[in-house]
Amino acid sequence: MKTYSKEAFVTLLEDKLTRKRRKHIEDASDKDLYYVISSIVKDELTPQWLKTKENYQKNETRQVYYLSMEFLIGRLLESNLLNCGLLDVCNAALKDLGRNPEDIFKHEHDAGLGNGGLGRLAACFLDSIASLNYAGHGSGIRYRYGLFEQRIIHGNQIELPDYWLKEEYPWETRKSDESVEVHFGGTVHMHPKSDGSLEFVYQDTDKVTAVPYDVPVVGYQNNVVNTLRLWSAELSPEESDILSEPSNQYYHHLDHTHSVEQISGFLYPDDSSYEGKELRLKQQFFLVSATIQGIIIKFKRNFDLPLTKMHEKIVIQINDTHPSLAVPELMRLLMDEEGLSWDEAWKVTTNTIAYTNHTTLSEALEKWSTSLVKQLLPRVYMIIDEINERFCQGLWFDHPEMRDKIPELAIISDEQVHMAHLAIIGSFSVNGVARIHTEILKKKEMKNFYHLFPKRFNNKTNGITHRRWLLQVNPCLSEAITDVIGPQWIKHPNKLISLLRYSNDAPFLDKIDQVKRKNKQTLAELIHKQTGVAIDEESIFDVQIKRLHEYKRQLLNIFHVIYLYNELKENPSMDITPRTFIFGAKAAPSYHLAKEVIKLIHHVASIVNFDKGINDKLKVIFLENYNVSLAEKIIPAADISEQISTASKEASGTGNMKMMMNGALTIGTLDGANIEIRDLVGDENIFIFGLKAQEVLNYYQHGGYIAKDIYNTDDRVRKILDQLHYGEFGAQEIEFKDIFYNILYHNDPYFVLKDFDPYIESHELVERAYRNKREWQKMSVTNIAYSGKFSSDRTIKEYASEIWKLR
């Protein structure tokens, strides 16, 4: 891409401002500048975007499509400037003009088209695919409403709609000429054809037009621009014409319009429990059908190959089971629309689709009722049924040792379609997202499938884009790193390992310390502005930011805070390093216990933060509306990263990687990717505590443990729980009975009490370690040095070479 001098950039800016907004720079608002700079970036990248497409066409490049119901992309202006190589000059130009870049960037609405880890992973992957020069595209839904905006009122979470498209979204381009039609409902009729085969004719279906909106995905300074295609549901043009004709069916049509547009209406905000909602199934099919139709159209246009060879050029990675209808839909399109036989279509399908699993939580496993699938997608259901029949017969004849397992393995059983089974059976690769997670899939959750298809299973430990999560969000740390090891780490994050040579270098350690202090100061200002609470910048910033879920155990964290508070009340002169506990978390709107925990955190904050008796040694901060942009502010300032899930439950985690990369030390269980972090940095550079996965699984197998025993024997625990139950803890009118009962009478399903003591002990080690600043800085540098492995560049290279077979 072009380079500009500062002066040239200012001229460009002025020129654009007058032409696009009819303003001089002095009169331009930050929002004007936001739109104008975005437009400059778009102009810059458009030729490369076209060229990238042409290159793929000309070279008939093999391509991957990453299908996901969620892309949590956050803001794009700053990262696009960075990747186009324009960030420095833009910042310098703005500074000359007396403008603050941050004030401008924040006019972009944070695109929250995802719930959490799974959606953010998809966004990081797109960045790495483009930056590594791979031909890969994202395909998702252009929800009119993203993940809800969280407000807290008296400690209660309130959800507000996130109408992110209220104003123009400068990054998208509507491509109506590439629209396709998606059909729902109706009936299927079979007609014998002259060659003896059957023709399937659909009648009385509801037609929905899928209109693509393309968002550019800019590679890091490599002239590659790939595409994230987001589909929007609209009424078909003929049907919208009907609305303008006089008719006594007007309201009927209006109602129909509404139900069509609903399909891309909003993102489902629940990532903790599966609910068989018809609209969600419609969304899934809408995404899958539109995407695969688009793929087939392009394949026929760009490749000089028959569709029986589609898998030689195309691979479709499905992000969890949410897009697993890709299996029957690809079958349907190849057979009914393209005339392939069952066997030909099956060969293509099972060589094209690859599936990533992101959770072993049984409550998140997708199962759709057969009656719903039959009614909404009659032909697709016939195909699922046939896949199931053939699979079960194959088991019966080819695997007599598995005969008694057929009901467990079938796609259809108990009048439900088991989407994970469909995904495994219909794909050539099944991967977990961290080593332990994949092992649990192979040995436990998907044991029988692993027995049948051992070669299909593989691990791809997650990663994050170090460009956004280090280079962009922590420019001072990045500069300090570059000063000592040079800039190669930016293209080759593994080079961060050279930092180990500086883990005893006093000037470098001082520099790292200075940067952390500055980042903490900045966060402290934000916290003060948002919450009114003044925090001690010298205190340990102890951070837990992630969705609120019982298994992630924010409850264990707040119990630790209550414990410290109780100790300080008993012994106000106790010598502890001041701590600031920072939380950010959205609860699914219908997740009662999760909302109770949010309320508890606020309640504890309201007492602890204002108690003069503890000399400001503890502060509890809950930052409202945790999202990508807020994460970007918090992560560079973290000293401690809380990764304390019940072992075996967190598939990988990615926040752990982001904080490690920014020099925070992890306190965590041996779960998900924490294990791989520990393996690299060594026990002396991480705080590991608590039950191990195998111990947790053993307990589950034997009906859990007796939580009451701990309540009865550990005074600290009993005190905390009694404070919750009997309202002694601060205001009398607030009680947390549901939390109390869940722990004591539902037997603490996530082992909060069981891990309480080791957690407290581990925190004591943290506290002690922090007192030795030099040692702490060394540990911090060691963590940064080893974090290169967790760049999504490494992950994507593994996907590309082992699954996608891309050049």
Of 322, 442, 595, 658, the catalytic one is 658
- Phi first, then psi, for residue 353 (nearest 5°) are -95, 135
Helix (H) or strand (E) holding 544: strand 540-545
Question: Does residue 110 belong to the site contacting ligand 26V (CB under 6 A)?
Answer: no
Residue whose CB is less far from ligand 26V, 229 or 547? 547
Over the window 628 to 667, marking each residue x when it contacts ligand 26V by CB under 6 A and - when it does not, the resulting string is ----------------------xxxxx-------------
Say what angle helices 77-84 and 87-96 make with each other, to 10 degrees.
Answer: 110
Q: Footprint of ligand 26V on residues 666-725 (CB under 6 A)?
A: 672
Over the window 120 to 159, marking each residue x when it contacts ligand 26V by CB under 6 A and - when it does not, the resulting string is -x--------------------------------------
Residue whose CB is less far from ligand 26V, 40 or 545? 545
Residue whose CB is less far from ligand 26V, 343 or 363? 363
Position among 63, 83, 91, 115 found at the interface with ligand 26V (CB under 6 A):
115
> If binding means CB under 6 A, how many residues of this protein chain bind ligand 26V?
22
**Residue-by-residue DSSP string for 348-374:** HHHHHEEEE-----GGG--EEEHHHHH
Pick from 130, 132, 121, 217: nearest CA to 172: 217
Over the window 438 to 477, marking each residue x when it contacts ligand 26V by CB under 6 A and - when it does not, the resulting string is ------------------------x---------------
Position among 97, 165, 188, 364 found at the interface with ligand 26V (CB under 6 A):
364
Position among 74, 85, 101, 116 found at the interface with ligand 26V (CB under 6 A):
116
Residue whose CB is less far from ligand 26V, 639 or 650? 650
Give min distance, CB of 44 to ligand 26V, in A.
32
Q: Residue 786 in contact with residue 495, Cβ under 8 Å?
A: no
Over the window 310 to 329, marking each residue x when it contacts ligand 26V by CB under 6 A and - when it does not, the resulting string is ----------x---------
Of 546, 579, 754, 789, the catalytic one is 546
Give min distance, CB of 320 to ligand 26V, in A.
6
Give min distance, CB of 202 to ligand 26V, in A.
28
Active site residue 529: no
Give min distance, CB of 329 to ligand 26V, in A.
19
Instruction: Identify the DSSP state of 272.
Output: S
Q: Residue 102 in contact with residue 157, Cβ under 8 Å?
A: no
C-alpha span between 656 and 468 (Å, rounded): 15
797: burial class by Cβ within 10 Å (0-12, 13-18, 19+)? middle
Of 421, 549, 552, 789, the catalytic one is 552
Of 379, 460, 466, 547, the catalytic one is 547
Beta strands 156-162 and 353-356 are unpaired
What is the torsional sign of CA 772, 775, 777, 779?
negative
Question: Where on the phi/psi map is residue 432: left (φ > 0), alpha (ψ -120 to 50), or beta?
Answer: beta
Active site residue 51: no
3-state secondary structure 647-685: CCCCCCCCHHHHHHHCCCEEEECCCCCHHHHHHHHCHHH
Of 358, 460, 468, 649, the catalytic one is 358
Give min distance, CB of 121 to ligand 26V, in A.
4
Our CA angle for 586, 589, 593, nearest 5°, is 80
Residues 6+ apart with CB under 8 A from 801: none
User: Which span sits near ligand 26V by CB under 6 A: 117-125, 127-135, 157-165, 566-574?
Assistant: 117-125
Position among 274, 346, 457, 469 found at the interface with ligand 26V (CB under 6 A):
274
Residue whose CB is less far from ligand 26V, 117 or 155? 117
Task: Read off the tokens for 479.
Answer: 């500069």
Residue whose CB is less far from ligand 26V, 87 or 267? 267
Residue whose CB is less far from ligand 26V, 169 or 268? 268
C-alpha span between 18 and 36 (Å, rounded): 10
Which residue is associated with the tokens 């006093």? Answer: 506
Task: Read off the tokens for 17.
Answer: 């401002």
Residue whose CB is less far from ligand 26V, 38 or 272? 272
User: Which span sits near ligand 26V by CB under 6 A: 112-120, 307-315, 331-339, 784-792?
Assistant: 112-120
Q: Residue 679 in contact with residue 696, Cβ under 8 Å?
A: no
Residue whose CB is less far from ligand 26V, 69 or 316? 69
Give min distance, CB of 795 to ligand 26V, in A.
10
Active site residue 358: yes
Over the window 231 to 270, marking each residue x when it contacts ligand 26V by CB under 6 A and - when it does not, the resulting string is -------------------------------------x-x
Pick from 769, 768, 784, 781: nearest CA to 506: 781
- The three-state secondary structure class of 316 is strand
Task: Read off the tokens for 622.
Answer: 């809950």
Over the window 378 to 417, marking each residue x when it contacts ligand 26V by CB under 6 A and - when it does not, the resulting string is ----------------------------------------
The H-assigned helical ranges of 303-434 are 310-313, 326-332, 342-352, 370-376, 378-398, 406-409, 419-425
User: Which span sits near ligand 26V by CB under 6 A: 76-84, 115-123, 327-335, 791-799?
Assistant: 115-123
Give min distance, CB of 512 to ligand 26V, in A.
27
Active site residue 763: no
Of 646, 654, 666, 782, the catalytic one is 654
Position among 108, 234, 271, 445 found at the interface with ligand 26V (CB under 6 A):
271
Residue whose CB is less far from ligand 26V, 118 or 598? 118
Q: Residue 134 in contact with residue 806, Cβ under 8 Å?
A: yes
Task: Enumerate long-range contacts of 744-748, CB under 8 Å, 24 or more apart.
Answer: 744/707, 744/708, 744/711, 747/704, 747/705, 747/706, 747/707, 748/704, 748/705, 748/707
Position among 74, 101, 112, 117 found at the interface with ligand 26V (CB under 6 A):
117
Residue whose CB is less far from ligand 26V, 147 or 523? 147
Number of other CB atoms surrounding residue 126 within 10 Å: 27
Active site residue 511: no
- The three-state secondary structure class of 591 is coil
The count of residues in the chain is 807
Position among 118, 260, 325, 348 found at the interface with ligand 26V (CB under 6 A):
118
Pick from 350, 345, 290: nearest CA to 316: 350
- Nearest residue to ligand 26V on Cβ basis: 117
Say what angle helices 554-570 and 715-725 make with each other, to 10 degrees.
Answer: 100
C-alpha span between 292 and 298 (Å, rounded): 10
At position 519, the amino acid (one-letter code) is N
Instruction: Identify the DSSP state of 746.
Output: T
Residue whose CB is less far from ligand 26V, 115 or 503? 115
Pick from 412, 418, 408, 415: nearest CA to 451: 408
Give min distance, CB of 141 to ligand 26V, in A.
12
Give min distance, CB of 552 to ligand 26V, in A.
9
Residue whose CB is less far from ligand 26V, 145 or 303? 145
Active site residue 438: no
Pick from 497, 489, 498: nearest CA to 471: 489
Number of other CB atoms surrounding residue 498 within 10 Å: 16
Position among 64, 310, 433, 512 found at the interface with ligand 26V (CB under 6 A):
433
What is the torsional sign of CA 447, 449, 455, 460?
negative
Helix (H) or strand (E) holding 430: strand 429-432
- Which residues are designated catalytic? 358, 546-547, 552, 654, 658
Contacting residues toward ligand 26V, per CB under 6 A: 115-118, 121, 268, 270-271, 274, 320, 358-359, 364, 366, 433, 462, 650-654, 672
